[in-house]
């Protein structure tokens, strides 16, 4: 039986996930079909800014704008999520008010002039990918906790660990209990 998640769905790694690529991660699903799935980790800042990533770009080379690690696959490509289609046209709407991609010139202009851009745009290197049936199996075995789309969580600023805990707590009482568990119970 296939378990397909819709674009915009958030996947929260369970506390027991020890894979360093996904421990305490919040992943936004961009696409999930029978052929496979891909998403972006929204709470893992990279150790570089866009100016370091694109030193030759006329505007982005001057921006100290944060970049996030979207996952361990394809780290040679830059992707972005945003919720400002009026400022960055041409994107694909994943969920109501949440867009992926768009015009790069408009993106660079928006980042250069809007001091609140970090609240509305996320840049990513890499992505998280699954082969056909792989994510379905991981969902069935309880490796991920699905959460309805939330732009508030996707664009949450601050400590990445706090974002994961906040997302877990948004599930209610059961999620609040999970949010306080250590990855390995022997750490207690």
Quote the tokens at residue 85.
């289609």
Residue 2 pLDDT exceeds 80? no
Residue 34 pLDDT exceeds 60? yes
Residue 109 pLDDT exceeds 70? yes
In a domain, 146, yes or no: yes
In a domain, 32, yes or no: yes
Q: How many domains does the chain have?
A: 1
In a domain, 50, yes or no: yes
In a domain, 59, yes or no: yes
CATH number for the domain spanning 34: value is: 3.40.1740.10
In a domain, 152, yes or no: yes
In a domain, 2, yes or no: no
pLDDT bucket at 176, cuts 50 / 70 / 90: very low
Q: How far is CA 137 from CA 69, 85, 129, 143, in A?
A: 24, 35, 14, 9
User: What confidence score (pLDDT) does residue 13 get?
Assistant: 95
3-class DSSP state for residue 106? Answer: helix
Q: How far is CA 138 from CA 127, 134, 153, in A?
A: 17, 6, 22
In a domain, 144, yes or no: yes
pTM of the model: 0.89
Residue 84 belongs to domain spanning? 10-187
In a domain, 1, yes or no: no
Q: Is residue 70 within 8 Å of 100, Cβ to Cβ?
A: no
CA 112, CA 116: separation in Å to the nearest integer? 10
């Amino acid at each position: 039986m296939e378990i397909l998640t819709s674009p915009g769905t958030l996947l929260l790694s369970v506390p027991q996930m020890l894979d360093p690529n996904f421990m305490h991660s919040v992943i936004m699903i961009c696409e999930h079909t029978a052929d496979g799935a891909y998403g972006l980790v929204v709470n893992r800042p990279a150790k570089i800014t866009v100016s370091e990533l694109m030193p030759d770009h006329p505007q982005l080379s001057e921006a100290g704008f944060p970049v996030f690690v979207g996952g361990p696959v394809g780290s040679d490509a830059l992707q972005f999520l945003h919720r400002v289609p009026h400022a960055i046209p041409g994107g694909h709407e994943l969920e109501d008010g949440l867009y992926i991609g768009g015009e790069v010139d408009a993106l660079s202009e928006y980042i250069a002039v809007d001091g609140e851009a970090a609240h509305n745009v996320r840049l990513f290197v890499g992505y998280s990918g699954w082969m056909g049936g792989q994510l379905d199996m991981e969902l069935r075995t309880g490796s991920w906790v699905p959460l309805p789309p939330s732009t508030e969580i996707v664009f949450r600023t601050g400590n990445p660990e706090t974002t994961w805990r906040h997302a877990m707590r948004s599930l209610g009482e059961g999620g609040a209990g999970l949010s306080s568990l250590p990855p390995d119970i022997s750490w207690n």
